[in-house]
Amino acid sequence: MDYNEAKNKFISTWGALGTLWGINKAMAQIHALLLISPEPLSMEDIMEELQISRGNTSMNLRQLMDWGIVFKENKMGERKEYFTSEKDVQELARQIAKERSRRELQPTIKILNDVSNIQDDGTAKTTELIKQTKALHEMANNLDIMMNKVVGQEQNWITKALVKLIK
């Protein structure tokens, strides 16, 4: 496997995986490209490399910046904007965990809490609804605490966490 084949394989795998995580293909591919690029890339570079339109590139770069995993960079004496990704995969994971907690987990926890606190009228269906949403609430809460713990952690948390879990 040569460089180009490997690069394409990586970019398309990352793209496909992104979809499964609620991130669209173009967004994931731009991220993949920046992650393995030793130099910051311009919008033109990205459009060219991934064969996508200017509008698409612009919108997805913005989203990646909103996620806090891609940054604008300016080269001295150049008007054009360049982009880089967070290169440290630990930091990347931390940032993603943080955002997913904020965007998905926390709103869900709020609703589970509301639903699980309805008045119990003693019917089987109400009792079951309360019981199950309470259980989900507790689990989602634990997950959230874990994820935020991890976010506040210094380098290499995942390896450390692993060691703790295994022993």
Strand 81-85 vs strand 70-74: parallel, antiparallel, or unpaired? Answer: antiparallel
Residue type (1 letter), 149: K
d(CA 167, CA 159): 13
Q: Which residues 66-125 are close enough to bind DNA by CB under 7 A? A: 78-81
> What is the sign, positive or negative, of the torsion defined by CA atoms of 67, 69, 73, 79?
negative
Please identify, using beta-carbon distances, which residue of 78 and 121 lies nearer to DNA.
Answer: 78
Rounded distance between C-alpha atoms, residue 118 and residue 111, angstroms = 11
76 binds, among DNA, a second copy, none (CB under 5 to 8 A by kind): none
User: How many amino acids of this chain bind DNA (CB under 7 A)?
Assistant: 23
Chain contacts with a second copy (rule: CB under 8 A): 1-3, 6-7, 9-10, 13, 17, 19-22, 35-39, 87, 89-90, 93, 104, 108, 111-112, 114-115, 118-119, 121, 123-129, 132-133, 135-136, 139, 142-143, 145-146, 149-150, 158-159, 161-162, 164-166
